[in-house]
Structure 1
Amino acid sequence: MPAAIEELARPVIIGRSSSHFTRITRIFAAEMRIDYSFRVVRDLMSSNPEDYGGNPALRIPSLQTPQGVWFGALNVCRELWRRSSPRPRVVWPEDLDEPVLANAQELVLQAMATEVSLIMGKLADASDSNAHHAKMRKGLVNMMSWLEENARSALAALPPQRDLSYLEVTLFCLVTHLQFRDVLPTASYSELNDFCQRFATRASIQETPYRFDT
């Protein structure tokens, strides 16, 4: 089968192996047992939406399917779940109806976005002497401290009858990415590290390690 036709016959995740937002989708694909192709975005400084699967926000990941393109990690994960059979029991962000759970999910996603901004700022030679950069770093430290303090209670509050939760996947990707990109020391976060060690035993984690695409 020609490569172009084969690519359209199964979903294509567009992103980078070093991206925590991309890894979320690849973990979901593994958990849902979805066969997919992977297209690497080579230049994150590109201003061409087509390099990002048509995403006008110029962000990754995207999911290309015969029906259309899905922008963003959460949208991609939902579509991968819809394509799975049987569909695992997933706890989604809208299912988090307790403050500690909803706040944990909000802060995980905010911390992930902040980390991206810090990494991109470093590429642009921003430093901690820049007031906005310093505020972002302080906010990241504050968010990680909150997550460390509340991780145990938040995870315990998740519905026990689940196969997976978006909170767990995003939390794991955040903490391990901070280590991978050396953005913030994480050794002192004992609760978060304990969680990551437990979660890392899943086959989907072993199949999706962070690495820099060559």
Structure 2
Amino acid sequence: MPAALEESAKPVIIGRSSSHFTRVTRIFAAELHVDYSFRVVRDLMSSNPEDYGGNPALKIPSLQTPRGVWFGSLNVCRELWRRSSPRPRVVWPEDHDEPLLANAQELVLQAMSTEVSLIMGKLGGTGDSAHHTKMRQSLINMMAWLEDNATSVLAALPQPRDLSYLEVTLFCLVSHLEFRDVLPTAPYPELNKFCQQFAARASIGETTFGFDT
């Protein structure tokens, strides 16, 4: 296949419609106007890396392209951005050179991972363990910090920007909590206000959470 044809081949996002990490990549694809195919990982209990696009960590999402496979939401979003034209102004995690923004991004990603562990632990029958209790408290602590600092964090994001990885991941985290019945979000008015405003983007309506059949 000629190199130009290879580069134009449609990428494939490998994940699930119920996954907040997958939704991050689909929002980026929509915002960047990058066309893609979507392959659903049917069995999250599978121990076969090929089911996850070859990811040895057995995690989603991945992005399959003619250049190779990209593992993880941040890698996928970067590659989608490289494929976009024109390339919009995106604020990436490495642009956060002050503690407030850097810590916010870290806690959002930690909270997303902790939420996955809680969901998988519940499915695996370990929902009453001491470790599960600690993880849930950790998630509650992180959400409280994000709520307390939401206004300052959002105000500190660099301008001008078209999109930021922090905003997309924060939206996916908060909206996923109630979707998967992990934590009620009523105690987080500032985060809910942000989500209501961010949800006005067309990309949000195009990437709603759901359970693949």
Does TM-score exceed 0.5, indicating one fold? yes
Return the offset for 1:15.
0.1
Q: In structure 1, how many angstroms separate the alpha carbons of the residues matched to 2:24 and 2:85? A: 19
1:182 is aligned to 2:200: no
User: Does the 8 Å contact 2:118/2:127 carry over to 1?
Assistant: no
SS of the residue aligned with 1:75?
A: helix
Match in the other structure for 2:71: 71
Return the offset for 1:24.
0.2
Return the offset for 1:160.
2.0
Return the offset for 1:179.
1.1
Q: In structure 2, how many angstroms separate the alpha carbons of the residues matched to 1:35 and 1:72? A: 19
Q: In structure 1, how many angstroms separate the alpha carbons of the residues matched to 2:160 and 2:84? A: 18
Q: In structure 2, how many angstroms separate the alpha carbons of the residues matched to 1:97 and 1:22? A: 26
The code of the aligned residue for 1:105 comes to Q
Task: Give every structure 1 segment of 4 or more consecutive aligned residues whose post-TM-superposition deviation is greater than 6 Å.
Answer: none
The code of the aligned residue for 1:134 comes to T
Q: In structure 2, how many angstroms separate the alpha carbons of the residues matched to 1:123 and 1:14? A: 22
The code of the aligned residue for 1:83 comes to R
The code of the aligned residue for 1:107 comes to L
TM-score by length of 2: 0.96
1:27 is aligned to 2:27: yes
Match in the other structure for 2:56: 56
Q: In structure 1, how many angstroms separate the alpha carbons of the residues matched to 2:194 and 2:34? A: 26
Q: In structure 2, how many angstroms separate the alpha carbons of the residues matched to 1:67 and 1:97? A: 31
Q: In structure 1, how many angstroms separate the alpha carbons of the residues matched to 2:64 and 2:21? A: 16
The code of the aligned residue for 1:196 comes to C
TM-score by length of 1: 0.95
Return the offset for 1:188.
1.3
Aligned residues: 208
The code of the aligned residue for 2:32 comes to M
Q: In structure 1, how many angstroms separate the alpha carbons of the residues matched to 2:198 and 2:160? A: 16
The code of the aligned residue for 1:199 comes to F
Q: Deviations over 1:96-149 (max 9, x none)?
A: 111110000000000000000000000011123x11110000000000000000
1:139 is aligned to 2:138: yes
The code of the aligned residue for 2:143 comes to M
Match in the other structure for 2:3: none
Alignment of structure 1 residues 2-151 onto 2, 5 Å? 9-128=9-128, 130-151=129-150
User: What stretches of structure 1 of length at least 5 have no aligned partner?
Assistant: 1-5
Q: In structure 1, how many angstroms separate the alpha carbons of the residues matched to 2:170 and 2:127? A: 26
SS of the residue aligned with 2:168?
A: helix
1:158 is aligned to 2:157: yes
